[in-house]
Structure 1
Amino acid sequence: MRMKAHHLAYLEKLMKRTDLSPRSTLILARRLARQIGLARESWTERSSSDRGQAKDSDFRQKPEKNKKIAAEKSQQLLDSLRNIGERILEDDKFLTKKYGFEGLCDILQVNRVHRLEVRERVKHSERLIATLVFVWAFEDSATVLSGRRATELKGGPLYHALMQTLKRAYTREAK
């Protein structure tokens, strides 16, 4: 479900608060990353739509100008997603130590069956979030995986945030 722009701005404002618990911040980061992904899809859709196909009347009237605006907005959202990924990577060791395997699996909504599957393999990981979300793709597996293999899913909000962060890092290295 897509949220209105002012709600997205409110989530971004909440992320800047310093009085939230680390657990609340992680939950908020997941929610924000999910909504940013949905908003990016919407802006990308707008920027690529033809003059006659645009649903928004403003986009039909000034397609070139509005395509540019949509592309800029999509880029801003992508930057926000990357910032979330960077923050997750920075806090991963701390959160792993603070909440442990079961606590992070609860926050990330990892299915109990999948927990059994990876528990021994990630036993000594200092970065459980990156491991569970990016390597194993078990984020939200309790609600959306339902019989599919994790490699088919790779679509959780933190997965996309971490992927964009890695893309940024590789792009910087390539320059």
Structure 2
Amino acid sequence: MNTINLEVAQKIASIARKSLSQRDMFILMRRVIRNSLRHRAQIRDERRIFRREAAKLKPYLPFVQRQMDMLIEKSKRHRDDELKDIKQGLVGFGYNLIKDAEGAYEAIGFSGLCDLLSINPVHREEASQDASSLADLIYVARLEDSVSPKSEEWGEGGPLFEACFLAMIEWIKTAPEEHLPDLFGEGSPFAGAQVVQVKQETLQ
């Protein structure tokens, strides 16, 4: 299975814009994201095989320490360049979706997006009251594929949510501090909470 990096994705998108409708563009983007996540999962599964092989050697320590170290190291580096390309592409798509750079919400419309995202009727009614953007549907409310049961774990959701989540994590890691929200300011999730420094670089 071939991966797709951000540069290739942008070239495909620039070509597709000339001949595809917004709806088709959205379907194409979703398919590319799904394939990228599937490819990433495959590589992670292969890495786990190396870790399992290393674990099997534990009863024979210390005589197999070198072999174990080699397997663990291989599990960390296996197809690393591909994973980096996949992440770069997903982050790029995530930014695109959060900002709705293509104007999909307005062009496709609420009902059309609900169809494409497989949002069930009950959630559609709720979302019609609260959602006002593409990000509201796929990232804030995590409604993609809501017709099927999905994990409620933090950071997990549909394919488009995962791309947006990666983009947000990347932004938090790389944005200048002054651009980040004050988590303890007025109206924030932790407003009024006491912050105590228990040791250097650690807040509690």
TM over 0.5: yes
Are 1:82 and 2:91 an aligned pair?
yes
In the alignment, the residues of structure 1 paired with residue 13 and residue 107 of structure 2 have an alpha-carbon distance, to the nearest angstrom, of: 19
The Cα shift of 1:77 comes to 0.6
In the alignment, the residues of structure 2 paired with residue 165 and residue 46 of structure 1 have an alpha-carbon distance, to the nearest angstrom, of: 25
Q: How many residues align?
A: 154
Are 1:121 and 2:156 an aligned pair?
no
The Cα shift of 1:46 comes to 2.3
Q: Do the aligned partners of residues 14 and 50 (structure 1) sit closer, same or farther apart at CA in structure 2, a change above 3 Å counting?
A: same
Task: Give 5+ residue unaligned stretches, structure 1.
Answer: 55-61
**Higher helix residue share:** 1
Q: Could you say which residue in structure 1 is the equivalent of 2:28?
A: 28
Contact 1:33 1:81 in 2 (8 A): yes
Q: Do the aligned partners of residues 151 and 50 (structure 1) sit closer, same or farther apart at CA in structure 2, a change above 3 Å counting?
A: closer
The Cα shift of 1:43 comes to 1.3
Q: Which has the higher contact order (CA 8 A, sep 6+)?
A: 1
Task: Give 5+ residue unaligned stretches, structure 2.
Answer: 55-69, 178-204
- Pick the aligned partner of 1:156 from 152, 155, 158: 158
The Cα shift of 1:65 comes to 6.1
The Cα shift of 1:136 comes to 1.0
Q: Could you say which residue in structure 1 is the equivalent of 2:39?
A: 39
The Cα shift of 1:165 comes to 0.6
State the structure with more CA Rg: 2
The alignment-based identity, stated in percent, is: 28
Amino acid at match of 1:167: I
Q: CA RMSD in A?
A: 3.0
What secondary structure is seen at the aligned counterpart in 2 of 1:137?
coil
In the alignment, the residues of structure 1 paired with residue 53 and residue 21 of structure 2 have an alpha-carbon distance, to the nearest angstrom, of: 45
Q: Do the aligned partners of residues 96 and 173 (structure 1) sit closer, same or farther apart at CA in structure 2, a change above 3 Å counting?
A: same
